Amino acid sequence: MKTIKYIVPALMLGLAMTACHDDDNYGVLDGVDMINRSQSIAEGATVRPSSTVALTLSYNNLVAIADRSITVNGQAVTASVNPDNGMELVIPLTLTAYTEYTVEVPEGAVCIKDNPEVFAPAKTVKFNTNVGLDRSQVAASLINPNATAEAKKLYTYLVENYGKTQLSGAMGEVAWGTRFSDFIAQQAGKYPAVVGFDYIHLANSPSDWIDYGDITPVQQVWDAGSIPAFTWHWNTPVSFGTPIDETVSTAETVMLPDWSASLQLTDETSMAVLSKVSAGSVITVTVKDVAEGAQGSFKDSGWSGLVAADGTDYDYFVINGDFSITLDAVTADKVKEGGLIIGGHDYTLVSVKVYSDGAPSDELDAKGDFNAANALVAGTPENKVLDADIDKVAGYLKLLQDAGIPVIWRPFHEAAGDYTWGAWFWWGMSGVDTTKQLWDYLYDKLTNEYGINNLIWVWTVQTTDEGKLASIDKLQAAYPGNDKVDIVCADLYIDDAMTDQTDTFDLINILVDKKKVIALGEVGNMVDPVSAYNNGALWSWFMQWYEMGDNADTPQFDRWNNAEIWREMVNSPYVVSRGDFSLK
């Protein structure tokens, strides 16, 4: 039983006293009860096993250990006193992941060093190590019940390997090949385990420089022992024309031989029609009485000849009858801005008509103003583009499926952008709910309509809000749900190499309730695999984005990493590359 040695006056005196030892600078209150001032692990806290090696209890007096009855989960441990200050009890811990812990310091175990009859009260601290990945909780099967045997085998490997080692990865290159991943292999000494491809040039395929129908690059990667991973920078028309079939003018105008006549379509009535034009709109001039050598002319409101982006000059040109101009983006902007002046000589202008079928522009961009919400409405121009592109990409994916090649499939990546600063791809610009609907739409089309079953569906989680780590509620609002996603990943472009990104991993792990494999869909600089492994936050794979030089034709290290860092990565015991595993 604790002994109360001093009466109240003595207690008050003790509170006013400094330490009884001249060299005591720790605020010791001699002669009073032992008080636990603080503890290094809060009650109910969650801690990481790798970074928590002891529980420290701080007292108001120099302490001594009276007996050895201190336990951790019922097992006796040998505690010690911090020699630097003499006022801290240090209880060693050897922790394992996902375990509840109870540390008990019974009354009588700790006393005042200079007054061993005064004991500290009993102390119990409960905490847990329920943090980091937990392979046992990860979904055992893909969301597609009809997934191919190859896709199932790949997914099973990714789950079984999760937390053990990380797969190295690099993009093949910007086009349909492997020049960048070949370069990485030459620099690092080992070939990446995951090789990235991108359907970014879908609109150009097939052509003389790219043909996704020739699956040779992917087949070679798969046959050599690497895993193909596909991104889709989904380029769509930056604008859609308004359907037009209107007459702008019926004012007959005689274009005199001396070039002095013209028809100026810059008034309000004319602009009501011309303001609707877009790339692809056709302006047709009907004429009569065309003399030999007659010329036509299209000028902007400043009397300069219209010049298309390809250099075609419409200032003056020979005509033999009716003539027209098909506007491109440059000439359309000029006409929309200020109208049109039609001139020339030796003919009579009868009428001017504008026609457009509302076709999308030829200019494509993943960061354009393509309306994602409209794309989900049947019959809209955007929906027609969406369905046509899905039909096309499904044909290419089917070739891979028929060849027995599974695909890590990552569409609609980086959808949310930054939660405050906004999205940078069209599939995120209409809001997170629209993006989730797009995800459902694409999954349904590819899986149920086209029978594409060789895909492992990967959702890219955006983790920043105003450049800082976002709150979990932002991630939850943007997430399709565990029942619609096979794997999740993050795209991290960190200024410094080999950093610890455990906080980001933990945030995503909370989002998926530990039930999904987490990877790095894209990286600039490498993330440190050692700290990731030690913290139970080892990403399933990483994928360095390609760097191909100014002309996009020379693989190189520019902004991200270097040969030394790559060699360090592939030689890490926590990283595997081609040849370190087999899926055949």
Closest CA to 454 of 246, 151, 230, 225: 151
Asked if the model's pLDDT at residue 498 lies above 70, the reply is yes
| C-alpha distances in Å from residue 522, one per residue of 51, 335, 388, 497 | 28, 43, 28, 14
- 262 with 409, same domain: the answer is no
Assigned domain for 425 exists: yes
Global pTM reads: 0.75
For residue 414, indicate whether it is catalytic: yes
- 312 with 339, same domain: the answer is yes
Which one of 150, 414, 547, 568 is the catalytic residue?
414
pLDDT for the residue numbered 368: 74
Assigned domain for 313 exists: yes
pLDDT for the residue numbered 556: 74
pLDDT for the residue numbered 440: 98
Q: Which domain holds residue 270?
A: 244-356
Report residue 289 CA to chain centroid gap: 63
The total domain count for the chain is 3
pLDDT tens-digit series, residues 562-580: 989 999 999 999 999 999 9
- 453 with 345, same domain: the answer is no
Does the N-terminal peptide bond of residue 121 adopt cis geometry, omega within 30 degrees of 0? no
Higher pLDDT among residues 556 and 171, named by residue: 171
- 459 with 558, same domain: the answer is yes
Confidence of residue 552 (pLDDT cuts 50, 70, 90): low
- 338 with 377, same domain: the answer is no
Q: Which CATH number is 72's domain given?
A: 2.60.40.1220
DSSP structure string for 339-408: -EEEEEESEEEEEEEEEE--PBPS-EETTS---HHHHTSTTSHHHHHHHHHHHHHHHHHHHHHHTT--EE
Q: How far apart are CA 134 and CA 137, in angstroms?
A: 6
Asked if the model's pLDDT at residue 236 lies above 70, the reply is yes
- 386 with 494, same domain: the answer is yes
Q: Which CATH number is 395's domain given?
A: 3.20.20.80
Calculated CA dihedral for residues 372, 373, 376, 382, nearest 10 degrees: -50
Contact 56, 86 (CB under 8 A): no
- What's at 384, amino acid-wise? K
Residue count of the chain: 584
Q: How far apart are CA 267 and CA 339, in angstroms?
A: 8
- 185 with 114, same domain: the answer is no
Q: How far apart are CA 402 and CA 229, in angstroms?
A: 17
Inter-helix orientation angle 179-188/563-570, to 10°? 80
Assigned domain for 133 exists: no
Assigned domain for 3 exists: no
Residue 410 CA neighbour count, 13 Å, CB half: 27
Q: What mean pLDDT do residues 84-102 have?
A: 95
DSSP state of 46: B
pLDDT tens-digit series, residues 361-399: 666 778 877 889 999 999 888 999 999 999 999 999 999
Query: Which of 81, 102, 128 is where one domain is finished?
Result: 128
pLDDT tens-digit series, residues 15-25: 332 233 334 44
Assigned domain for 346 exists: yes
Q: Under 8 Å CB-to-CB from 452, ≥6 apart: which residues?
A: 394, 397, 398, 401, 446
Query: Which of 356, 380, 402 is where one domain is finished?
Result: 356
Q: Which CATH number is 322's domain given?
A: 2.60.120
Assigned domain for 138 exists: no
Residue 282 CA neighbour count, 13 Å, CB half: 11
- 348 with 448, same domain: the answer is no
- 208 with 77, same domain: the answer is no
- What's at 285, amino acid-wise? V
Query: Which of 128, 158, 173 is where one domain is finished?
Result: 128
| Lowest model confidence (mean pLDDT) among 125-139, 178-192, 361-375, 467-481 | 361-375
- 250 with 320, same domain: the answer is yes
pLDDT for the residue numbered 15: 32
pLDDT for the residue numbered 356: 86
Assigned domain for 2 exists: no
Which one of 150, 382, 522, 547 is the catalytic residue?
522
Asked if the model's pLDDT at residue 170 lies above 90, the reply is yes
Q: What mean pLDDT do residues 515-528 have?
A: 95
pLDDT for the residue numbered 33: 81
Assigned domain for 582 exists: no
- 503 with 521, same domain: the answer is yes
Q: How far apart are CA 273 and CA 336, in angstroms?
A: 9
pLDDT > 90: percent of the chain: 79
pLDDT for the residue numbered 400: 98
pLDDT for the residue numbered 360: 73
- Average pLDDT for the chain: 90
- 385 with 498, same domain: the answer is yes
Element (H, E) at 117: strand 115-119
- Hey, how many other C-beta atoms are within 10 angstroms of the C-beta on 387? 15
pLDDT tens-digit series, residues 399-456: 999 999 999 999 999 999 999 999 999 999 999 999 999 999 999 999 999 999 999 9
